[in-house]
Structure 1
Amino acid sequence: MTHIHPTQAAEFWEARYQGVERIWSGRPNPLLVREVSGLRPGTALDLGCGEGADAVWLASQGWRVTAADISRTALERAAGHAAEAGVSDRISWERHELGVTFPEGSFDLVSAQFLQSPVPWDQDGALRRAAAAVAQGGTLLIVMHAGWPSWQDEPPFDAEFPTLEGTLAALALPEESWSVETLDTVRKQSVSPEGVDGFRDDNVWRIRRTGA
């Protein structure tokens, strides 16, 4: 059997999750809740699901969720959280390195929350595949940081943050088949590890597939 070596991205994220008992808060992303609460539940794809808070929330709202992440450790924790919440039967967990492999099928909702990484990868390609996975009448929801927190004097690594129009252009969605419903920058309060108050801006794209 051929041994497949993990990529730099897979190694980075696996090491990050294994290094601590929990990375994320366990609460769903507020902008996901804001944008999805008015939608009729159907099938959902949660890309970069991490420890599963968004997938668990979607399932609790009646969605049938396919949740994907690059880290086996994250997926194991996420499955545990789903069991604790009593929604395991509504979620399937899949390991994917989204720049390389992608979940099969089409979905009423495809959610990509903060698919940003210090390790180089094909972000635009993954987002285009996310759009391709949206069923007719379905919704693509993307949320990404628009810049560093206001208190971040020395960024820990070089990063190119997406703009609202830049990501729309990279998606290259035909206007006759897609309708932009949310194109928004949201400022949220942020506190540094040292306790310095500040803010961070996030960009939101909610786009509905109106045609084939």
Structure 2
Amino acid sequence: MSHGPEHWDARYADTDRPWLSAPSGTVACALSGLAPGRALDVATGIGRHAVWLASSGWQVTAVDFSAVGVAQGRARSDQVEWVVADVLTWSPDTTYDLVLAAYVQLGVAGVRRLGGWLAPGGRLVVVGHALRNLTDGVHGPRDPAFLHTEQGLRDGAAGLEVERLEEVLRPDEDGTAIDLLLVARR
């Protein structure tokens, strides 16, 4: 449920994307207090979360199907293992203490797939635009197929212990964006 690599290559080639440089406040809050370990950042784009995680002591693998995004990430940090691949067909050769999917909508099967890559005690963190954002929020995709629902995330986390599943409001100068946050533990 996403645009293909060519779309994202063109988008990342546009250098006027200030929101791509710093980690999401929601992600930073959700991960605060976790001891660093092995982390996987899926659909990393230019790696804003991967670079931040590595600078915070995590051993990070970052995966995206946009070669342009990965090249930009690689230029920002050599402390991350960068992989050009589609997370819906790629599989890691290890398990992770953290699997992060920020602002990518992979559907129930995709979220379930990510949960399978967790080490015992590892956490899956998914944050993205909520379906309610379409009618009540600002920014984000305008197609419902690209938006999260609580039930979809709960179904994707089946077999994991859901620690948090909640709406997160992100106010800015244009209004308030509405996201969903899932934190689930194996």
Alignment pair present for 1:202 and 2:179: yes
Verify: 1:185 aligned to 2:167, yes or no: yes
Asked if structure 2 preserves the Cα contact closer than 8 Å seen for 1:96 and 1:103, the reply is no
User: Do the aligned partners of residues 58 and 11 (structure 1) sit closer, same or farther apart at CA in structure 2, a change above 3 Å counting?
Assistant: same
Q: Which runs of 5+ in 1 are unaligned?
A: 1-7, 83-87, 117-121, 192-196
| SS at 1:51 equivalent | coil
- 2:15 pairs, out of 10, 13, 21, with 21
> What is aligned with 1:52?
47
Distance in 1 of aligned mates of 2:83 and 2:141: 30
1:140 matches 2:127: no
TM-score, length of structure 1 as denominator length:
0.77
Contact 1:112 1:143 in 2 (8 A): yes
> Do 1:140 and 1:208's aligned partners in 2 also have CA atoms closer than 8 Å?
yes
Q: Which residue of 1 aligns with 2:87?
A: 98
Cα distance in 2 for partners of 1:190, 1:180 equals 29
- Residues 156/135 of structure 1: CA separation in 2 closer, same or farther (3 Å cut): closer
Moved more, 72-81 or 94-103: 94-103
Give the secondary-structure state (helix, strand or coil) at the position aligned to 1:125: helix
The letter of the residue matching 1:9 is: G
Listed one character per residue, the Cα deviations across residues 68-89 of structure 1 (whole Å, up to 9, x for unaligned) are 111111111111111xxxxx2x
> TM-score of the superposition, structure 2-length normalised?
0.87
Write the deviation string for residues 30-89 of structure 1: whole angstroms up to 9, x where unpaired. 11110112111000000111111111111111100000111111111111111xxxxx2x
**C-alpha deviations, 1:176-205, integer Å up to 9, x for none?**
xx32111110111134xxxxx311111000
- Percent identity between matched residues is 33
Q: 2:107–2:152: 8 Å Cα contact kept in structure 1?
A: no
1:34 is matched by which residue type in structure 2? C
Residue pair 2:107, 2:156 contacting (<8 A) in 1 also? no
CA contact (8 A) 1:106 1:134 kept: yes
Larger Rg: 1
CA contact (8 A) 1:45 1:109 kept: yes
CA RMSD of aligned residues (A): 2.2
SS in 1 for 2:33: coil
Following superposition, which runs of at least 4 residues in structure 1 exceed 4 angstroms of deviation? Answer: none
Q: 2:98 aligns with which of 95, 102, 109?
A: 109
Aligned residue pairs total 180
**What 5-or-longer segments of structure 2 have no aligned partner?**
none
Q: Identify which of 41, 59, 63 aligns with 1:64.
A: 59
Residue 144 of structure 2 aligns to a residue whose secondary structure is coil
